[in-house]
Amino acid sequence: MQRGVSKSRTPRIHFDTFANRCREADPSMSNGQSCSDRCRLVTYEGERPTEEGGSTGRRLLLLVTCLFPLFFGACGSLKLSVQSEVPHRDAEGKPLPVVVRLYQLSNKERFQKGDFLSLARSDHKVLEKDILWRKEITLFPNSELVLKEERKKGAEYFGVMALFREKGKAWRQVVDLNKLWTLSVKIKIREREIIVD
């Protein structure tokens, strides 16, 4: 009599469960590409796994790609690193601190079109309801400040401007938050410009 062969069962992985976890982690991503959408884009190159079938490889890929942003903060929190690489200097060449303003914006048009003086003097008046979050910091020469902030509901863009003593061409920058995978923004302040990685 032939003995039956015991087969190990592949753990069931439910796509909708992880999609819901993504939405719970970041309810603000109602517009644009959501975390669960990212899961679909990555894992749907092959056949969608089912409860009873589907390869172990596809199931594992689904698990990893959906849980990765939950563990590493791609869906809920915004990590900001603001670094002064080249000192802001006065007329005599002495290093100076520089005031940097950080924004979470629902729309980027007013921020991009506003002139330096108007934004510096009355950014609330210029940007109006576009501002969902604002923080002003003073960055000292050769220093770095790391912040972790909640992404506000409806925030589509991250804006940064530096109140340089003599403004250069790159005194402001805008980042589309929906195009970031990890919601991590690195800001480098040089003598008269802002560089965003």
Q: How would residue 57 be classed by pLDDT, with cut points 50, 70 and 90?
A: low
Which residue bears the tokens 């914006």?
105
- State the Cα–Cα distance between residues 119 and 159, nearest whole angstrom: 12
Which residue bears the tokens 């670094």?
83
State residue 118 phi and psi, 5-degree precision: -65, -45
CB 74 within 8 A of CB 22: no
Q: How would residue 56 be classed by pLDDT, with cut points 50, 70 and 90?
A: low
Q: Would you say residue 8 has pLDDT above 90?
A: no
**Better-predicted residue by pLDDT, 170 or 43:** 170
Q: Would you say residue 58 has pLDDT above 90?
A: no
Q: What is the pLDDT, as a whole number, of residue 10?
A: 42
Percent of all residues in the chain with a pLDDT value above 70, rounded to a whole number: 61
Residue 133 bridge partners (DSSP):
104
Q: Would you say residue 136 has pLDDT above 90?
A: yes
Query: How confident is the model over 77-102, as a mean pLDDT?
Result: 87
Length of the chain counted residue by residue: 197
CA dihedral sign, ordered 183, 188, 194, 196? negative
CA count, 13 A, side-chain hemisphere, 119: 26
Q: Which domains does the chain have, with CATH numbers?
A: 15-72 (no CATH), 77-196 (2.60.40.4150)
Q: Would you say residue 37 has pLDDT above 70?
A: no
Task: Please give the model's pTM, rounded to 2 decimal places.
Answer: 0.63
Express each pLDDT in 92-112 by its tens digit: 878 889 999 999 999 999 999
Q: What is the pLDDT, as a whole number, of residue 47?
A: 42
